[in-house]
Amino acid sequence: MTTLQNLHRKIRHYCLDNFDHWINIYQKLRENRPNTLSYSYEPNDYDIFPRYQANQALLQGVEEIEPTNYSTINDLKKSIIESALKSRTIFTKEVYGTAKNAIEDERKKFKAFVGNITESDLLNVPDLFYRRKISDIETYNWKIKLKLHSVDFTGFWFPKNDIRLNNCDFLVFDEDAVAQESEKNINEIVKSFIEDKYFVFNEDNVNYELEKDTFDIFNLSPETFLFDKKFYWLIYYSHEDFYIIKNKQIAERLKNDFPQLKESMNELT
């Protein structure tokens, strides 16, 4: 089993390392150009930035595979390759010309890398944080359950009636109400209420299961929902930079320790 987990982890490392490699190259190119108000592309850019986008898409496909469900290396390799090569993001769909060739080249290199991994390559694979991409079917099932908690994923979420009727169960605050030096303490308080794993759903519909160690409510993309499998707590971060925390114990603890958050809630609600 360890060998299979190491295989999966090694392939994740490959995608993450290549993402960093190509995005660093692209950023350095941009930094060396004259600073203008318009964002334009040079011809060579189309052979660079699609490569980190391709590795991001490949990684999503890899992270949708659960290695413990397999019994042999070859079966796991096959499923990982199939899942990764069919994985698409908004940046890797409907691309043409140089960009398409760059993406196809990264997919080709990925397939060769996975195919050439031997058991001896899996003896010392560096640790890596846990992250599992939620499948479309699982996403659908979770969203049905989330609807019972007034979350419908149509965009902006602000359940005023629920907040008004169950004021003690909620904390709503503007990110500007949090001093930077308080972020770590607030996050640690919220984190202390979390079990081993939690879910992250966002507006791009690229959703994950993560472990507690990775939890950071101040490092989220807008329109993101965080929740646990029992819906003991629910957290939302909006495009407008405000947070909604739905859990009586968490809300009361933060209101007591950080009065400015209670003041922010009074202003927002």
Task: Using alpha carbons, select from 143, 9, 128, 149 the residue that is nearest to residue 67.
Answer: 9
CA dist list (Å): 5 to 14, 37, 48: 14, 47, 31
Q: What is the pLDDT of residue 155?
A: 77
Classify 132 as helix, strand or coil.
strand
Task: Using alpha carbons, select from 122, 117, 118 the residue that is nearest to residue 1.
Answer: 122
Annotate 167-179 with DSSP letters as a single string: GGGEEEEEGGGS-
- Look up the pTM and report it: 0.89
Residue 97: band (very low, low, confident or very high) from pLDDT cuts 50, 70, 90:
very high
Quick check: 241 and 176 in contact, CB under 8 A? yes
Structure tokens at 23: 């995005």
Structure tokens at 25: 């190259």
Strands (E), 138-246: 170-174, 197-202, 208-211, 224-227, 234-237, 242-246
Compute the distance between CA of residue 71 and CA of residue 111 in angstroms, rounded to an integer: 20
Q: What is the pLDDT of residue 36?
A: 64
Residues of the chain with pLDDT > 90, as a percent, come to: 82
Give the model confidence (pLDDT) of 188-246 as tens digits. Answer: 999 999 999 999 999 888 999 999 999 999 999 999 999 999 999 999 999 999 999 99
Residue 34: band (very low, low, confident or very high) from pLDDT cuts 50, 70, 90:
confident
